[in-house]
Amino acid sequence: MITIEDKLEIFYKIVYRDEEEKYLKALKELEEQNQQLLENKREEMKRQREEIIRRKITQAKVERNEVKSEGLEETKTKLRQKRKEIEMDLVSSIIERGKEFVKSKEYGEYLCRNLDKYLVEFEEEEVVLLLRDEDRLISESCLMKLKEKTGKTFIVEELPEDKIGGFMLSNKDRTFNIDHTVRTLIQEKEYMIGKSLNKALGEVGEVNE
């Protein structure tokens, strides 16, 4: 015969088992939810980490390129400055050689040869000729021959000292001039000097980036 105690025990076991099953089921669902939340959080942290790394890499590349660009521009500027210094030194050296040339015997021959060339072609009958004082004696015999040859009249004036040597021709009204001075001839060649220098040293834009 089943006693009340037995019935209570049976009831307790049935209820306990039922509650236990519910508890275990809820616990399992909770664990699954927690696992999913944890996995989602891991994925989110992974994406955030990758995004941070990507941004850092991008920022580092930008900063590197900026530094590289600044360094390249600085190098180009220094090259331009150096090239200009070399060009100026070269022109100065040519000017000094020009000053030495006007003291040589060859210069006298050069002066007479070019006076003959330009004065014969000069259409004016009265010619203003600018020469250095020290070149008047050199050109005197040349001018006498030219005067006999062309019948022109020469008015000789002093050539500015900074012209180094050579001569300038003008008509009496000073409306037409020919500048065949050493200084001007060098200045006219400065472009070619710079161009040749650029070719020899390479263009600034050829700097490797």
CATH topology classification for 102-193? hypothetical protein PF0899 fold (3.30.2320)
Starting at the edge strand found earlier in the chain, the sheet holding 126-131 runs 153-158, 126-131, 166-171, 177-181
How, if at all, do strands 126-131 and 153-158 pair?
Answer: parallel
Tell me the C-alpha distance between 166 and 182, whole Å.
5
State pLDDT tens for residues 71-113: 778 877 877 787 788 878 888 888 899 899 999 989 989 999 9
CA distance 44 to 34: 15
Phi, psi of 177 (to 5 degrees): -135, 145
Kindly report, residue by residue over 13-26, the tens digit of the pLDDT.
Answer: 666 666 667 766 76
132-152 pLDDT, tens per residue?
A: 988 988 888 888 888 888 888
Residue 207 above 60 pLDDT?
A: no
- Kindly tell me the sign of the dihedral angle through the C-alpha atoms of 125, 131, 137, 138: negative
**Cα–Cα distance for residue pair 137/65, rounded to 1 Å:** 67
